[in-house]
Structure 1
Amino acid sequence: MRGVYLYLAVTATVFALLSARCCLNVSSDETRTKLNGCAVDFISFREQFHRSYVANSAEFDLRHLYFQNATKRHAYLNSFSTVAQSAKYGINQFSDFSQEEFRDLYLRASADRAPLFPGLKTGKTEGLPAKFDWRDKAVVAPVQNQQACGSCWAFSVVGAVQSVHAIDGSQLVELSVQQVLDCSFQNEGCNGGSPVQALKWLKQTKMKLVPQSEYPYKAKTGICHFFSQSHGVVAVKNFTAYDFSGQEEAMMGHLVEHGPLAAIVDAVSWQDYLGGIIQHHCSSQRSNHAVLVVGYNTTGDIPYWIVQNSWGTTWGNEGYVYIKIGGNVCGIADSVAAVFL
């Protein structure tokens, strides 16, 4: 408990110093709002992210408080960034959300315990390229935005299916996330779900996914629309789900051999992520978010996974996050699924 109070005291002091420094350059006109902290930063944030809450309203005051709390977190998180490629944390589209609100809206994936990968612990990786990215093969669809719906589990599964379909020689077609969201009865739509359960449903029902253009995403759970089998694009024949913790080199081989992988991660600290390679702040004690691993790069000082997220292109590295390879950072290797069509 003493450590918690010490942390709060330190971060509060850091934030006060940062706020004072920032506000030195604020004109008298800008300070007329008489907000606590650095008012001009919050005003700029509202303009950039099109926030419509009214100044001096209760919601305005609450969001401004969350914004100030986010700035405190950023100072703490960035104190671990000791090398040039390290992750950076700062103001983004989630900076006026409380941590609880962010988790409730965006971190709704559940993880099924996966068996350990049965291959050799070291794996045969001599023949693997030093870096590999399925985007270079034009088989990865653009970054999507799940919006205020806990549908990451559906985005990761559909992302894997449409990529493997393209790898098999077909044209890359964006498939319907909404179809999986509405029809995967073992999951809970926008209230959350499991990629493994979604893949089990696809395998058991042999339901063919239709193009996104015919069953567009609505960011809310709806009634399942059924299509004839001849109308759909592709069905899942099988899938695997393994725990690669301690075997991330074998996971690299799995990615190259089978295509982009649907994975479950601990993404609590991603609320503040701006870019760079995440090496800290992920406990992996509770997996809560589903993503698509599309590549890796081991050529630099810090080897990393290339991971597509579903929070739009304004987040992270144009919608992507880089996670250090080794040590199971963010629980990236805990539950990893490959799709077979």
Structure 2
Amino acid sequence: MNVSPTCLRQMRVDLSYVVVIATVFSVISPRCCLNVTRDDTQAKLNGSAVDFDSFREKFHRSYEVNSGEFHRRQLHFQNAAKRHAHLNSFPAAPQSAKYGINQFSDLSQKEFRDLYLRASADRAPLFPGLTTEGLPAKFDWRDKSVVAPVQNQEACGSCWAFSVVGAIQSVHAIGGSQLVQLSVQQVLDCSSRNEGCGGGSPAQALYWLKQTRVKLVPQSEYPYKAKRGMCHFFSQSHGGVALKNYTVNDFSGQEEAMMGQLVKHGPLVAIVDAVSWQDYLGGIIQHHCSSQHSNHAVLVVGYNAAGDVPYWIVQNSWGSTWGNEGYVYLKIGGNVCGIADSVAAVFL
């Protein structure tokens, strides 16, 4: 086929045009891809911002937008989301714990420890008794209407006082008296061996109550203020509940015996490692907990050994919106979170 010189010149121009266009596209296209990636990243960041806005609204955070505190809290919130992904990445056993956004998600881990994990544990002797035979497969003192509602210690390291008072008021009700919430503030203000919101030892509080025979008055007479104040004294004739005695034991390796103590004597005070509880939403904690750094006091009110994963039923003092309506479940066996390291029973 003969092609005229004019057509050849036109074809050369068209080919040059295609080469130029291809070259331009090869230069531009990476930038297009980069823009898409940047847009995706921005969308994720915007999603995080939306989540943070929802968090602030839900939990009534009032820090000013774009302030230094706002950006600091948002960073803690983003770090919390990374922790949740890690904690939830382990192979899920039946009824495994779930971790996610809660009221503590804008706190750094250090702030959380400094505010809420202020309990200390004295070394406890190993439990010398025997395992109780014929225990029920599950037992919950709440079913007997002798466990008071979940309380909120707020930004005060007073868990040690809440656990002790919770045990005393339950054992008082088990003895036939009406369930009355007793004053945590009285213990917070008056237990001289402890440091109020700065932390304390349940064992030291129990020792103080036994030695002084101080009567705990109802919470309505001595309300909680989430800060330490002057100790209010009451006359010996004033009504209240006095502690007669208590025991503190190490049940590690003997959690079945601990179950027997719970059934026999009432809710138990325990000191645990609760670092991972900052992110807890619900389910049975089976991992992510050591037994070497006890820092938080709680009240063990029951257990359930009837299912695939036996667990302790533990009342916390961080309000009813945390965890399982204020409760946390810990796997029985293996001393998860150090639940068996230092356990106190009270006697009235």
Normalised to the residue count of structure 2, the TM-score between the two structures is: 0.87
Amino acid at match of 1:124: T
Question: How far did 1:240 drift?
Answer: 0.3
Kept after mapping to 2: 8 A contact 1:81/1:88: no
Which whole-Å CA distance do the structure 2 matches of 1:324 and 1:81 have between them?
16
Q: 1:69-120: CA deviations, max 9, x gaps? A: 0000000001125134000000000000000000000000000110000023
Residue 250 of structure 1 corresponds to 257
Equivalent of residue 304 in structure 1, options 288, 300, 311: 311
Amino acid at match of 2:159: C
Question: How far did 1:22 drift?
Answer: 11
Q: 1:147-193: CA deviations, max 9, x gaps? A: 00000000000000000000000000100000000000000000000
Kept after mapping to 2: 8 A contact 1:109/1:290: yes
Kept after mapping to 2: 8 A contact 1:22/1:38: no
Kept after mapping to 1: 8 A contact 2:94/2:308: no
Change (3 A) 1:22 1:219: farther
Kept after mapping to 1: 8 A contact 2:77/2:107: yes
Moved over 2 A (4+): 20-24
Kept after mapping to 2: 8 A contact 1:80/1:280: no
Change (3 A) 1:51 1:242: same
Which secondary structure does the structure 1 equivalent of 2:171 belong to? helix
Change (3 A) 1:317 1:234: same
Which secondary structure does the structure 2 equivalent of 1:144 belong to? coil
Flag the structure with higher helix content.
2
Change (3 A) 1:54 1:210: same
Equivalent of residue 276 in structure 1, options 271, 279, 283: 283
Kept after mapping to 2: 8 A contact 1:144/1:311: yes
Question: How far did 1:23 drift?
Answer: 4.4
Kept after mapping to 2: 8 A contact 1:77/1:281: yes
Q: 1:242-266: CA deviations, max 9, x gaps? A: 0000000000000000000000000
Quick check: 1:52 aligned with 2:68? no
Equivalent of residue 159 in structure 1, options 162, 166, 175: 166
Kept after mapping to 2: 8 A contact 1:81/1:87: no
Which secondary structure does the structure 1 equivalent of 2:170 belong to? helix
Which whole-Å CA distance do the structure 2 matches of 1:322 and 1:215 have between them?
31
What are the residue-to-residue correspondences of 1:113-262 with 2, within 5 Å?
Answer: 113-120=123-130, 123-125=131-133, 127-262=134-269
What are the residue-to-residue correspondences of 1:4-23 with 2, within 5 Å?
Answer: 23=43
Amino acid at match of 1:64: Q
Consecutive unaligned residues of structure 2, counting only runs of 5 or more, are 1-36
Question: How far did 1:205 drift?
Answer: 0.1
Which whole-Å CA distance do the structure 2 matches of 1:97 and 1:172 have between them?
35
Change (3 A) 1:245 1:57: same
Consecutive unaligned residues of structure 1, counting only runs of 5 or more, are 1-16, 25-34
Identity, in percent, stands at 82
Q: 1:206-263: CA deviations, max 9, x gaps? A: 0000000000000000000000122132100000000000000000000000000000
Which secondary structure does the structure 2 equivalent of 1:181 belong to? helix
Quick check: 1:335 aligned with 2:345? no
Which whole-Å CA distance do the structure 1 matches of 2:109 and 2:176 have between them?
43
Question: How far did 1:38 drift?
Answer: 1.6
Quick check: 1:322 aligned with 2:332? no
Which whole-Å CA distance do the structure 1 matches of 2:43 and 2:309 have between them?
36
Which whole-Å CA distance do the structure 2 matches of 1:202 and 1:81 have between them?
45
Structure of larger gyration radius: 2
Which secondary structure does the structure 2 equivalent of 1:255 belong to? helix
Which secondary structure does the structure 2 equivalent of 1:38 belong to? helix
Residue 91 of structure 1 corresponds to 101
Which whole-Å CA distance do the structure 1 matches of 2:57 and 2:163 have between them?
31
